[in-house]
A and B are shown apart, each in its own frame.
Chain A
Amino acid sequence: MANTDHVPAIEVRKLVKRYTKSKTNAVDNVSFQVRQGEIFGLLGPNGAGKTTTIGVLTTAVLPTSGSTCIMGIDVASDPISVKQRIAVVPQQSNLDRSLKVREILTFHAAYHSVPRKEREERADKLLDELGLGERKNEKVNRYSGGMAQRLMIARALMHSPDVLFLDEPTNNLDPQSRLFLWDRIRELNKQGLSILLTTHDMDEADKLCERIAIMDKGKILVNDTSSELKKMIPGGNALEIRLFVPDSVGADAPARLKTTLEGLPGVSKVEEMAPEPAPVAQAAAVPAGSWARFGAAAAAAAPQEDPGVTTYRVYAENAGSLTGAAAQAVLASGCEVRDLHLKQATLEEVFIYLTGRHLR
């Protein structure tokens, strides 16, 4: 075998997949690379083409055009060599329900020609590591969703793959199981495993992945590190200041303050935010009637945003460092700080920015 140290773990070039009877491409001219030892995330809503992409890479889906390689091996022309090097953890459990838990692992390893002694030892070790050692002689129908997910990961590791595919690994898991899995995934990665995971959970992508490709409608929109992606949103990093302008400071105080803030180092823009609409305003506009009257009364009683309160967003390269200076500027102008916080961009906002839609 040639030296494979420098080939990408996964390489996808101009991949297109159109299912028969479909009028659109499920995967539409997608290209990306995953380096060896990297955790790479495909982030996107359901139906974006993530699972189809994994399907092509794991020999279950035939590409319409384009090429894919795993560890330098072409998937279409040599699927058997590829299968030796990959492992797949699918979205839904496909565990063998006729076997006991430990047998699921040992038979899987046997399918991959792992010698008996080795597979028995590895099964016990993995079951212990994943916290399933005490229930290894049960059948899986008694397992919870989180345990089944862990077992599928254990099974995937039985034949020592180079590349691991995780399709929505923590979907439908409780928060504790999810954190446990995240830890395991990071550990596996530290041991040198290259990982491609799909998710529609931006938090998951953000916390686990070194690089993230955002996918929508079969296309990769962007592909970069989480922090680079967040920089895409204009003013991804902003300081938001809510302040109260007392009557005593004069009507031009807000304007003067804005000029001061604009003068702070590194500030690109200061924006006065439109006040959020009062939640009951609509109810008050309903035509007469008992409910409308009730609504109007409620609107009158609701604590309205103080008329003297204004919100500014200060966009800057490093808005976090301006916290002190901004607060001082507000105080110097005679206004009162009601709230001051750093506005962090999320991947969700990146997705909205790119597609105009929410992830889910």
Chain B
Amino acid sequence: MHTQSRFSLAATAFWAMLNRDLVVTGREFVSFLLQALMQPLFFLFIFGKVLPGIGLAAPAFVAVMLPGIVGLTTLVASMQGVTLPLVLDLGFAREIDDRLLAPLPIWLVPVEKVLFAAIRGIIAGSVIFPLAWLILGDRYAVRSDHVAMLAGMIVLTASVGAGIGLLMGTSIKPEQIGLMFTLIFTPLLFTGCTYYPWGALNNIRWFQVLVLFNPLTYAAEGLRYTMVPPIAGHEIPTLHIAWVLAALGTSVVVTLILGSRTFRGRVVS
């Protein structure tokens, strides 16, 4: 006993905690997918099939919107993977105590939660592609020359979502859940350049500046950069990819640091 190195103890505990989360999610995989995909499914159908079908949206709109939906789904699925469970756990369930007593540094416990939530987000975001292909038919258009970059964007988007989820999950009290979801989720959804490209906001300058405070804007624009094929020979304008990467990278780091600190504040008094 007690002969293993610190590192191997912590690594084993970390992996066991991740394995526990994966086992639990695996058991309710169908409900997880339904929860993550219901909304994007309807968005794809209405905005990609119905509106263009009745002439209320330009066919090119679909190509611009699809990256927004991938970004939103990835971000929200990873947020949901950590926010609600943490609010309940830290609020009253305290199931997490068992993991806090495992022989590893406390900050690895929230990091594990973030990693797991990001995996959820990556799965949810990736499933959008075959679904979109099925629903959109001819209108499905994703360029194939940026695949590695696209994968990277999804991972980054999922990490941002998980980071925000950690920060929210450790800051919100159970009795505030309803209000906070309205106050945070709704603006996040509608100011994230999901359904419109950032470049098109030139005419509403104040709004164009405002949306830059939403990480989802960078995720959606980065995904547009990696997904939307040239339309009529023209690349569509997006936020510069360097800005996108810098903003998303910063968001991950900042939310992780702040989230781990609030987490520590909640579990050690």
Contacts and interface: CB of A to CB of B under 8 A. Distances in A.
Given A83-B101, A111-B99, A113-B103, A94 B94 contact: yes
B12 A96 contact: no
Interface string A70-111: 000000000011011111101010111111000100011011
Interface string A200-243: 00000000000000000000000000000000000000000000
Given A62-B269, A107-B20, A113 B12 contact: yes
Interface stretch (B3-11, B169-177, B239-247): B3-11
A108 B98 contact: yes
Question: What 3 A-B pairs are tightest by C-beta distance, nearest first?
Answer: A110-B16, A111-B102, A94-B94
Interface in A15-68: 19, 55, 58-62
A189 interface: no
B95 A95 contact: yes
B16 A61 contact: no
A80 B103 contact: yes
12 contacts: A59-B268, A80-B103, A81-B2, A86-B101, A94-B94, A94-B95, A107-B19, A111-B13, A111-B99, A112-B13, A113-B4, A113-B13
B98 A155 contact: yes
A86 B4 CA distance: 17
Count class of interface residues, chain B: 20 to 34
B11 to A, nearest CB: 9
B95 A96 contact: yes
Given A60-B268, A96-B98, A97-B95, 6 more contacts: A60-B269, A85-B2, A86-B101, A111-B17, A112-B13, A113-B4
B93 interface: yes
A1 interface: yes
A10 B99 CA distance: 22
A162 B12 CA distance: 21
A323 to B, nearest CB: 53
A324 B105 CA distance: 66
A218 to B, nearest CB: 15
A279 B98 CA distance: 53
Interface in B238-269: 267-269
A80 B95 contact: no
A160 B101 contact: no
A92 B24 CA distance: 23
B9 A80 contact: yes
Interface string B7-33: 011101100110110011000000000
A318 to B, nearest CB: 48
Interface of B: 1-2, 4, 6, 8-10, 12-13, 16-17, 19-20, 23-24, 93-105, 267-269
Contact of B102 (A62, A83, A90, A99): A83
Nearest to B3: A1
Contact of A107 (B2, B16, B103): B16
A113 B268 contact: no
Contacts of A113: 4, 8-9, 12-13, 103
Given A80-B105, A155-B98, A19 B269 contact: yes
Contacts of A107: 16, 19-20
Nearest to B98: A108
Nearest to A155: B98
The prevalent SS among residues of B at the interface is helix
Contacts of A160: 1
Given A81-B2, A111-B102, A113-B103, A97 B269 contact: no
Contacts of A94: 93-98
A62 B268 CA distance: 7
B19 A110 contact: yes
A95 B96 CA distance: 9
Contacts of A55: 269
Nearest to B19: A110
A90 B101 contact: no
Contact of B269 (A61, A80, A99, A108): A61
A155 to B, nearest CB: 7
A99 B267 CA distance: 22
Q: Which of B95, B101, B103 has the most CB of A within 10 A?
A: B101
Contacts of A85: 2
B267 to A, nearest CB: 7
Nearest to A19: B269
Contacts of A84: 1-2, 9, 103
A19 B269 CA distance: 7
A81 B96 CA distance: 19
Q: Which of B4, B17, B103 has the most CB of A within 10 A?
A: B103
Contacts of B23: 99, 103
Contact of A80 (B24, B97, B104): B104
B98 A112 contact: no
A83 B103 contact: yes
Q: Which of A83, A88, A92 has the most CB of B within 10 A?
A: A83
A97 B96 CA distance: 11
Nearest to A87: B101
Nearest to B14: A111
Contacts of A58: 101
Contacts of A80: 6, 9-10, 103-105
Nearest to B101: A83
Contacts of B93: 94, 97
A352 B99 CA distance: 40
